[in-house]
Chains A and B, each alone.
Chain A
Amino acid sequence: MKATWILPDGQEISAEVPAGHHLMEAGVNAGVPGIIGECGGTLSCATCHVYVDAAWAEAAGAPEDFEDAMLDATEAPRLDRSRLSCQLVMGPALDGIVLRVPEV
């Protein structure tokens, strides 16, 4: 399955992501600048913040309570489609997902 990150300068990075893998982990492995994941995906750092592309917003769903609270602690502004990518798990519904990396 595939995910694509669009960097603030428009550059795109795509990677194969196995089902069940978190998109934070996939972004770190693909060397996407700005996806850091310092807490290892345990909702303690907000350093894997992405804006989900409009076309994928519904499939990605809404953040749960803890993620919602951490989204108030991101470096870049929180927008409607802000998510922490450690909480996005690759699966058939997200195959092809496009994520925009915030400018920081």
Chain B
Amino acid sequence: MTIWTPTDDGQADLTSHDTFVHGAPHNTFQRMRREDPLSWTDWDAGEGFWSVTRHEDILALNRQTDLLSSARGIRMEDQTYEEYLARRTFQETDPPEHTQTRMKVAKAFSPKVIAGFEQQIRDLCDEILEEALAEDSFDATKRIARELPMRMLGRIIGTPDEDLPWLVSKGDALIANTDPDFTDHVLDKMTTDEYRMMPFNSPAGAELYDYAKKLMADKAARGDTEGVLHLILQPGPDGSTISETEFRNFFCLLVAAGNDTTRYSIAAGIQAMAHQPELLGQMQAGEIWDTAPDEIIRWATPALYFRRTAIRDFEMHGKTVRAGDKVLYWFSSGNRDETAFDQPFRVDLGRKPNKHLSFGQGGPHLCLGMHLARLEVRVLFQELAKRLAAIEPAGPHKFLRSNFVGGIKELPVRIRRA
């Protein structure tokens, strides 16, 4: 069975969210890698941009923060300076400012601290899977993939379980702000000007912020100084603290970015299991757990791209990128680059080395939550494989309408329990 075949004609419009409802346009990326690895796209809704599609080029550029800055926005869309200031998080800063903010929270996401969550995650998986697998066929994104990161988020930021569905629906409205299934404020379909000073141009940002303020007040009243939200408010080595706006944006980032990326990694892994039947047996044999999470996360590539802005002119592949030009690193393309991965369109749970770019490897903005993501993915699939005798598709799966977040939003599967 073919695991998944791209259907684009090789000339897909990367600026169109509709392009991505069939999955990332990998025929287009393959052509770009081969013929035009630094490719210019004109755009009628904003300034045009460069696309970097080869694995080696993304790696080479990603660490050069003195050449390509995050501090002018990290998505394709243009931002005014005013909007940038209102909406930025430390994702939209460069070293050394970025490093200073990141330091404050790095420890909360360190491998040591994250390893301590394993049993908790296993218990959550047990609950989630026993509920989901009570039925023979179901939507695996909704019943499994969405549930684990949502419930873990509650543990990480210290919110009561009953608040989680609300929080996650707001996070979805933020990050999937181009998919009408997730928001009433579809970014490219209506004027969201009213919300342009809010994270992700979305009114959900304001609601999340009110929630965060109340949460912090409740925690303060209880004398609770645990957790990452407390850490980010602490002064840095030079005594500086983050502003209220930045705190709001950080909270939104945790709820949105940390949540749906793990969801779509799990969904992609289940999609692979349903289409590549040998994966279940390999998981049950159990020798692949050191490598399987990264392969599943490569296959998923939930962050399709991040954008940088050139600080000065530079030459690459015979072209000149001018200062101020937007440059997109298409991780989605890099993760299918045939020069970096043998058979990139197959899931090989034992793949080693696996220099995928899903976490933004090679640069300072490397995913803060990557150890948590790997752990959640490993434990979920360990617990899932243990319970299954077979899994197959029960209908076509559907991708998000977004050129920024790659994810399977509907994944009908049929299962037989072990």
In the bound complex, what is the Cα–Cα distance between A65 and B99 (angstroms)? 11
What is the distance, in angstroms, from A20's C-beta to the closest C-beta of chain B? 16
Let me know if A42 and B95 touch, CB within 8 A: yes
With both beta carbons as reference points, the residue of chain A lying nearest to B104 in the complex is identified as A69
Let me know if A70 and B103 touch, CB within 8 A: yes
Known contacts A66-B99, A66-B103: A39-B362 contact under CB 8 Å: yes
What is the distance, in angstroms, from B365's C-beta to the closest C-beta of chain A? 7
With an 8 Å Cβ cutoff, the count of chain A residues facing the other chain is: 18
In the bound complex, what is the Cα–Cα distance between A104 and B359 (angstroms)? 21
Tell me the A5-35 residues at the B interface (CB within 8 Å). none
What is the distance, in angstroms, from A25's C-beta to the closest C-beta of chain B? 11
A90 at the interface (CB under 8 A from B): no
Let me know if A66 and B100 touch, CB within 8 A: yes
Let me know if A75 and B361 touch, CB within 8 A: no
Known contacts A65-B237, A73-B110: A45-B103 contact under CB 8 Å: no
Let me know if B65 and A42 touch, CB within 8 A: yes
In the bound complex, what is the Cα–Cα distance between A65 and B102 (angstroms)? 13
Q: Which residues in B have their C-beta under 8 angstroms from that of A58?
A: none
Let me know if A72 and B107 touch, CB within 8 A: yes
In the bound complex, what is the Cα–Cα distance between A46 and B65 (angstroms)? 19
What is the distance, in angstroms, from B374's C-beta to the closest C-beta of chain A? 11
Q: Which A residues fall within an 8 A CB radius of B?
A: 38-46, 65-66, 69-70, 72-75, 104
Q: Which B residues fall within an 8 A CB radius of A?
A: 59, 62-63, 65, 95-96, 99-100, 102-103, 106-107, 109-112, 237, 359, 361-366, 370
21 A-B residue pairs with Cβ-Cβ distance under 8 Å, sorted by A, are A38-B361, A38-B366, A38-B370, A39-B63, A39-B364, A40-B59, A40-B361, A40-B363, A41-B63, A42-B63, A43-B99, A43-B364, A44-B99, A44-B364, A45-B366, A66-B99, A70-B103, A72-B110, A73-B106, A74-B111, A74-B112
Given contacts A43-B99, A44-B366, A66-B100, 7 further A-B contacts (CB under 8 A): A38-B370, A40-B63, A41-B63, A44-B365, A65-B237, A69-B237, A72-B110
